[in-house]
Chains A and B, each alone.
Chain A
Amino acid sequence: MLDVQQVSGGYSSEAVLKDISFTVEKGELFGILGPNGSGKTTLLKMLSGILPFQEGEIVINGKSLQEYKAKQLAKIIAVLSQHSSQSFSYTVKETVSLGRYAHQKGLFQTWSTADEEVVQKVMNQIGVSRFQNKNIQELSGGEKQRVFLAQALAQEPEILLLDEPTNHLDLSYQKELLDFLKQWTSENGLTVISIFHDLNLAGLYCDRLLLLENGRINIDQIPNEVLREERIRDVYHTDIQKHPHPKVAAPQMVLLPKRNCEVVNFNIDETRLHISEEWIELTTPIPLRTMSSGVIGSGTGWHQIFVNRHVHKDYSCSNHRAEMASFLKSKGFEPSETVGMMTAVVLEDVVYKRFIEEEFSIFVVVTAGVGNAIDASKGEQHSFEMTPGTINTWVFVTGELTEEAFIQSIMTATEAKVKALNDLKVKDEVTGTIASGTSTDSILIAATQTGAVLEFAGTITPLGKLIGKAVYLCTTEAIQKSSKRKRK
């Protein structure tokens, strides 16, 4: 379809682009990326025939770009620019109709019924026909962009070139436009070549990406390959982190802002812990990176308030999440900043311990009730019943944990808890075997993400050792306390 061969050139004597070669197949959505000044727009101008190039060749459908006359080229390539000037108040339909210029023949270039049909069809597809008699100067930025897209598509092109099409558009228009382009590439075989500023949008929609760096091709590959942390960091000279998209298999990059404030030095210990009859609360001056299975704030996130709420052992609620959220609000906690758990255990029986290593420290808070203890290996013998009796474990780490370390922390803490139950010979009442936990246990790992980097948290790593010990001790003591209370 489009074949670029060793193209070099630019505006003046100094070449902006150097030795660019790539091909684009029919029906592809091809993205061009690169930092400012890397030559993206220059490349697009060369492709559209506006800017001559000094060396190399661009071949479209087997024919060199220079051999095409302006009109012939307009039937193959249409361009949607970043912004179009409109000095006069043409109507939307007049504007779209101009797209048919290259298709009209003869000295008088009469408007044929075919032209009218194409224009009406395109306006319907883009959704601008309802304001076709409106003046384009009266339209909003998003609507204008759609009108010019309709104009470009009225050319019935095989290739559509776009220069940052989503610039100036709000989120919904961005998505709409790109969804539409994607649909046209798959349904009508339109080839789309587009410059993107937004790496994430490019990663979401493009079949292939071309990354330019200082006028040269850095890489021409599928998005997952192009959007690598190290590569983007090098080319854009900025701190960036890659994340998988939560819903679709597309890479996403997030910026890492420079932290201006000094790293707040603070400890997490019992002085931050407030215990009342109704709840246990711990608040930190900065949000902590968390991974938890609480009622509120579960999964991964950033949270600043940690609440373990006492509920009566007959507590039952059809929507316990909403109930918990309104409880938190009523007590002055912002649910979006909070990890919230519930327990039927008397909160007085909470056990907490702090352990300090050279470069980091951990603080563990456990409430444990084993009225509902269960042997995980024999879980299937139990009917699904929510009975209170829960071990809630909080582990706070002052240090920077990797994702791996978070998961290993959970494993280590769980293993320590199981061991505690084992040593206390806590029985699963249904099966009579030794229990491994309760059916509603919750865990929270929270890290300050400042200070020492803790890459691992397996049982024999420095962090793992501490977590294992602390959780074991706390859980044992907490179970003993609550069983003593029961016996009274």
Chain B
Amino acid sequence: MRRLFILKFLNNKYLAYCLAGIFLVLSILLGISNGTVSVPILTIIKIISAKVFGFSLLETIDPMYSSIVLNIRLPRVILSGLVGASLAIAGAAFQGLLRNPLADPYTLGVSSGASVGAVLTLFFQLSIPFVGSFTLPLLSILFSFLTIFLVLTFASKIERSMRVETIILTGIIFSSFLGAIISLMIALTGDELRQIIGWLLGSVSMRGWEYIKIILPFFIIGSGLLIFNAKELNAMSFGEERAQHLGVNVQKRKLLILTAGSILTGAAVAVSGTIGFVGLVIPHLSRLLWGPDHRHLLPLSIITGSGFLILADLISRTIISPTELPIGVITALIGAPVFALILLQRKRMERSG
């Protein structure tokens, strides 16, 4: 009986990964195939496998297709995938750590913090010696780290128990403040206004392989750190004291998780601007479908998060083609109602006891 159950349980987890994987692959193929020029899916597969395995099949394929796929669509899809994955796993981690299903880099104000770092770098043409193109993500990460600490310190000053609503409110206050700073900086510099506003609303267009190189190492470090702390996140989602009683070194782990979350958010914002609600919607959905165990929730959030953002990007550039919508518009259109729903559900649960 129990063996059967365990078998079923395992199957369930495999099923979860399979479903998420299929969703990701489909999103990738759709994302590459659709656009002003439609590329047949079979062709995409041929081009990519030729590139990956070094076949020289390219002569049978229209070079325009392969150029579109390899130089425009594929990097765009990969970049949006990486950004989506980073934001989703960071959101899942913040939620677990703060025991707050409404936490996400955007609602916590971390994204705004990272934006300030990025805007500072862009407009003052800052460049840290030896790191070159990594100056942008590094400063974004630094600023997101500072922001999350300020937000949490402030929230705990308001109320020791740090209720869900208190943290969110603090995040909103910080977001507005940081947003004002960004506006101020833009106003003071004057030029490139349109571009920066587009960037602020979030976009993954015309970034190319260069940006993938920027985000990839941070994505690997950040999500690696979080996945290694999945059990601790499980314990901490029962409260920090409880976690300590269970044997978790709370101070150290908390710092690690906050750092990892900041790395992921900072890097994602550096390459794509502020894209809201991905870190809210995806972990929530994954938890609903497959349960709250962070050992599975984190990887599953990575997979579904990247698929989700690829689709969101696809919609943003096709829905009123040829004009492109900022991708943040799409995610906010989906995310804000979900946020409201979660809030309602929580309140209802509290009332029913």
Binding site for B on A (CB under 8 A): 48-50, 69-75, 77-79, 81, 84-91, 94-95, 98-99, 101-102, 104, 107, 109, 137, 151-152, 155
A70 engages B235 (CB within 8 Å):
no
Our pick among A72, A77, A101, A152 for the contact of B235 (Cβ within 8 Å) is A101
B292 within 8 A of A: yes
Is the CB of B63 closer than 8 A to any CB of chain A?
no
Interface window among B53-61, B247-255, B332-340 = B247-255
Q: Would A101 and B238 count as touching, CB distance under 8 A?
A: no
**Is B34 an interface position by the 8 A CB rule?**
no
Query: Are A98 and B291 also in contact (CB < 8 A) when A86-B238, A137-B349 are?
Result: no
CB–CB A84/B246 < 8 A? no
A94 to B246 alpha-carbon distance, docked (Å): 14
Given that A70-B247, A90-B292, A101-B247 are contacting pairs, would A84 and B242 also be in contact in the complex, using a CB cutoff of 8 Å? yes
Report how far A78 CA is from B293 CA in the complex, Å: 22
A64 vs B343: C-alpha distance in the bound complex, in angstroms?
45
Contact A98 B246 (CB under 8 A): yes
**Known contacts A85-B238, A101-B231, A137-B349: A74-B292 contact under CB 8 Å:** no
Q: Once the chains are docked, how many angstroms separate the CA of A152 from the CA of B245? A: 9
Known: A81-B242, A84-B238. A75 touches B291 (CB 8 A): no
Q: Would B291 and A91 count as touching, CB distance under 8 A?
A: yes
B101 / chain A contacts, CB cutoff of 8 Å: 87-88
Which of A71, A72, A87, A107 interacts with B237 by CB under 8 Å? A87
Measured between beta carbons, the chain A residues less than 8 angstroms from B292 are: 88-90, 94
Alpha-carbon distance between A152 and B235 when the two chains are bound, in angstroms: 12
| CB atoms of A73 and B247 under 8 A apart | yes
Q: Which residues of the other chain, B, contact A90 by a CB distance below 8 angstroms? A: 234, 237, 291-293
Whether A88 contacts B241 by the Cβ 8 Å rule is: no
Find chain A residues with CB under 8 A from B238 CB. Answer: 84-86, 95, 98
Contact A49 to B244, CB < 8 A, known contacts A85-B99, A87-B101: yes
CB pair A88 B250 closer than 8 Å: no
B239 within 8 A of A: yes
Instruction: Name 19 A/B residue pairs within 8 A (Cβ), A-sorted.
Output: A48-B244, A48-B245, A70-B247, A72-B247, A73-B247, A75-B247, A84-B238, A84-B242, A86-B237, A88-B96, A88-B99, A89-B291, A90-B234, A91-B291, A94-B234, A98-B238, A101-B231, A137-B349, A155-B247
Would you call B46 an interface residue if the criterion is a C-beta within 8 Å of the partner chain's C-beta atoms? no
Q: Which residues of B contact A87 (CB under 8 A)?
A: 99-101, 164, 237
Closest approach, in angstroms, between the C-beta of B166 and any C-beta of chain A?
14
Asked if B246 contacts A101 (CB within 8 A), the reply is yes
B287: CB under 8 A from chain A?
Answer: yes
Contact check, A69 vs B249: say whether CB atoms are below 8 A apart.
Answer: yes
Contacts of A101 in B (CB 8 A): 231, 235, 246-248
A81–B249 touching, CB < 8 Å: no
**Contact B242–A74 (Cβ < 8 Å):** no
Question: A84 with B239: in contact, given A90-B293, A137-B349 (CB under 8 Å)?
Answer: yes
B100 — nearest CB in chain A belongs to which residue?
A87
Q: Which 5 A-B pairs have the closest CB atoms?
A: A74-B247, A102-B247, A88-B292, A87-B99, A79-B245
Expressed in whole angstroms, the Cα–Cα distance for A155 and B245 within the complex equals 10
Give the residue of A71, A85, A88, A95 whose beta carbon is less than 8 angstroms from that of B247: A71
Nearest-Cβ distance from residue B329 to partner chain A, whole angstroms: 30
Instruction: Tell me whether B241 and A50 are in contact (CB under 8 A).
Output: yes
B246-A155 in contact (CB<8A): yes
What separation, in Å, do the CA atoms of A98 and B237 have in the docked complex? Answer: 11
Contact A102 B293 (CB under 8 A): no
Q: Which residues does B use to contact A, with CB under 8 Å? A: 96, 99-101, 164, 228, 231, 234-235, 237-239, 241-242, 244-250, 287, 291-293, 349
> What's the Cα separation between A442 and B245 when bound, in Å?
62
Chain A's interface: helix, strand, loop or mixed, by majority?
mixed
Q: Other than A48-B245, A88-B237, give 6 A-B pairs with Cβ distance below 8 A.
A: A50-B244, A70-B244, A74-B245, A75-B247, A89-B287, A104-B231
A167 to B238, CA, bound (A): 19
In the complex, A404→B91 CA distance in Å? Answer: 72
Which B residues touch A107, using CB under 8 A? 228
Please give, as numbers and ranges, the residues of chain A lying within 8 Å of B244 by CB-CB distance: 48-50, 70
Query: B246 touching A102 by the CB < 8 A rule?
Result: yes
Chain A contacts of B242 at CB under 8 A?
79, 81, 84-85
| A109 in contact with B237 (CB, 8 Å) | no
Residues on B with C-beta less than 8 A from A69 are 249
Minimum Cβ distance to chain A for residue B246 (Å): 5
Q: Is the CB of A78 within 8 A of B291?
A: no
Closest B residue to A151 by beta carbon equals: B246
A87 to B294: give the CA distance in the assembly, Å: 13
A460 to B237 alpha-carbon distance, docked (Å): 74
How far is A85 from B98 in the complex, measured between Cα atoms in Å? Answer: 11
Which residues from A are CB-within-8-Å of B287?
Answer: 88-89
Complex Cα distance A87/B231, Å?
A: 16
Please judge, given known A-B contacts A89-B291, A90-B292, whether A109 and B247 are in contact too, CB under 8 Å: no
Distance between Cα atoms of A335 and B34 in the complex (Å) = 87
With A and B bound together, what is the CA distance between A48 and B240 in angstroms?
Answer: 13
Name the one of B96, B99, B293, B349 contacting A94, with C-beta atoms under 8 angstroms.
B293
**In the complex, what distance in Å separates the CA atom of A70 from the CA atom of B244?**
7
A102 to B232, CA, bound (A): 11
Q: Which residues of A contact B100 (CB under 8 A)?
A: 87
- Minimum Cβ distance to chain B for residue A162 (Å): 12
Closest to A71 in B: B247
B342 to chain A, nearest CB (A): 11
A49 to B248, CA, bound (A): 12
How far, in whole Å, are A73 and B246 apart by their CA atoms in the complex? 9
B residues less than 8 Å from A78 (CB atoms): 245
Contact of A70 among B231, B234, B237, B249 (CB under 8 A): B249
Residues of B within 8 A of A95 (CB): 238
Across-interface contacts of B246 in A (CB, < 8 A): 74, 98-99, 101-102, 151, 155
Output the least CB separation between B12 and chain A (Å): 11
- In the bound assembly, the distance between CA atoms of A78 and B246 in angstroms comes to 7
Cβ of B291: which chain A residues have Cβ within 8 Å of it? 89-91, 94
**A13 to B68 Cα, complex, angstroms:** 67
Q: In the complex, which residues of chain A have a beta carbon less than 8 angstroms from the beta carbon of B293?
A: 90, 94
A71 to B249, CA, bound (A): 8
In whole angstroms, how far apart are the Cα atoms of A73 and B243 in the complex? 12
Instruction: Compute how far the CA of A89 lies from the CA of B292 in the bound complex, rounded to whole angstroms.
Output: 6
Interface centre among A90, A91, A107 (most CB of B within 10 A): A90
